[in-house]
Amino acid sequence: MEIQSIKQRFGIIGNSPLLNTALETAVKVAPTDMNVLILGESGVGKESFSKIIHQLSGRKHAPFIAVNCGAIPEGTIDSELFGHEKGAFTGATDKRKGYFETVNGGTIFLDEVGELPLGTQARLLRILENGEFIKVGSSAVQKTDVRVVCATNRDLLERSRQGKFREDLYYRLATVPIRVPRLSERKEDIYLLFRKFASDFAESHHSRLLELTPEAQQLLSQYNWPGNVRQLKNVTEQICVLEDGPVIGADVLARYLPATEPSLPMLLGKTDSFGEGMSERDVFYKVLLDMRRDVNDLKKVVFGMLEGSSMPAQQSAQALHTPADANTQSTLVIAPAAIPSVINEPVILAEQTETPEHEYVEAESLIDNSDNLSLESKELELIQRALEKNRGKRKLAAEDLGISERTLYRKIKQYELD
């Protein structure tokens, strides 16, 4: 089947070589029963590729279901996917079929598969290997014939090295990987997509069809589009509704394009992506790690200065408000006030005479204390602040933190928060 006919059938817009390569791979693998892992940032259209694979397969007349793994709380995800028996847990008043049972013979699309808990990953691995599963609260093994198509915007191999994703499951899922390019890699397709969305919205909102000036077209193509196709569609709809048109200039378009590189990472609620596969929370942690490295570098500089310093003892004693004694041996320390509150502040060095151990702290131990940057404590503090701000409402707190509600639930259990 030709790629052009596939695009027309499924409403795919664009002629980018990277997009065509992804479509060609999807078309070739569709008639088989091989597992497929779709890679790409949020908003690039990964679910569309899963539908293409299903519709071009021998299972096209069987059920298809898309499941967002990141949106299901950890405590109920096993029940949702595999079903449960009556009385299996509090609130299980009836027997329930899971998705893998109801979609028997069809295709299940697991979006954000990297968010699955490790226990659920083990259950999924058994289905991929043997086609078997056990309901929650049951001991009976059941069979199912389901094709699994997964998608993720995370680096699963990196998560496996961190102990958050099973490596054997990754290689089972990634029998055929398909990488969907982000919109900034398809610059030749951006204006085509804008025109398609503008035409659709002009018809649905009964508004005038918008056109862009050459300068606006250039601005549209040069923008980074961190939200990918989804963001472009939203921006187009905003302009169609709020602007009279019909010609839109670069100055008008610029008002609808938010800055893509904030000067400081912020927690802005739900975030799709910040750079290559990094959420804004990940960037915040990265900044803390960079600060830790800066402190380590600062230690090396300080000790280098200690070795080469020859400040007179009297001068150092005055700096520390301590009387000098000619019979005592002098050593260099850092005055407590000299520890910088900001990395870029100068470090004040003083030479002082030896005094009782309880009064002064040696330079090395003092610097090590400044290196106390615990990611866990920062994470705990952010979670507590978000819960306090939203009066204990976990859904709103999760949105503020930019994580799924299930992930927040797991963190609350981890830190034993009420």
Model pLDDT, residue 21:
95
Model pLDDT, residue 200:
92
Residue 61 shares a structural domain with residue 90 = yes
Residue 301 shares a structural domain with residue 191 = no
Residue 123 shares a structural domain with residue 13 = yes
Residue 322 shares a structural domain with residue 387 = no
Residue 23 shares a structural domain with residue 63 = yes
DSSP state of 84: B
Model pLDDT, residue 290:
73
Would you say residue 146 lies in a domain?
yes
Q: What is the domain count for the chain?
A: 4
Please report, for the domain that includes residue 395, its CATH number: 1.10.10
- What string of pLDDT tens digits covers the 418 residues of the chain? 588 899 999 989 999 999 999 999 999 999 999 999 999 999 999 999 999 999 999 999 999 999 999 999 888 899 999 999 888 787 778 888 999 999 999 999 999 999 999 999 999 999 999 999 999 988 899 999 999 999 999 999 999 999 999 999 999 999 999 999 999 999 999 999 999 999 999 898 888 888 999 999 999 999 999 999 999 999 999 999 888 878 999 999 999 998 765 434 444 444 444 444 455 556 666 667 777 777 777 776 666 666 655 444 444 444 444 444 444 444 444 444 444 444 444 444 444 444 444 444 444 444 444 444 567 777 888 888 888 888 888 888 888 888 888 888 888 888 887 6
CA distance 24 to 15: 12
CA distance 407 to 409: 5
Would you say residue 262 lies in a domain?
no
AA letter at 220: L
AA letter at 55: Q
Residue 355 shares a structural domain with residue 384 = no
Residue 157 shares a structural domain with residue 44 = yes
Model pLDDT, residue 210:
86
Residue 175 shares a structural domain with residue 71 = yes
**Which ranges constitute the DSSP H helices of 114-211?**
118-130, 156-161, 167-173, 187-204
Model pLDDT, residue 62:
95
Q: Choose among 21, 320, 330: nearest CA to 178.
A: 21
Model pLDDT, residue 121:
95
Model pLDDT, residue 373:
53
Residue where one domain finishes, among candidates 211, 239, 254: 254
Q: Tell me, yes or no, if the pTM score tops 0.75.
A: no
Orientation angle between helical segments 228-242 and 187-204, nearest 10 degrees: 40
**Which ranges constitute the DSSP H helices of 174-279?**
187-204, 214-222, 228-242, 250-254
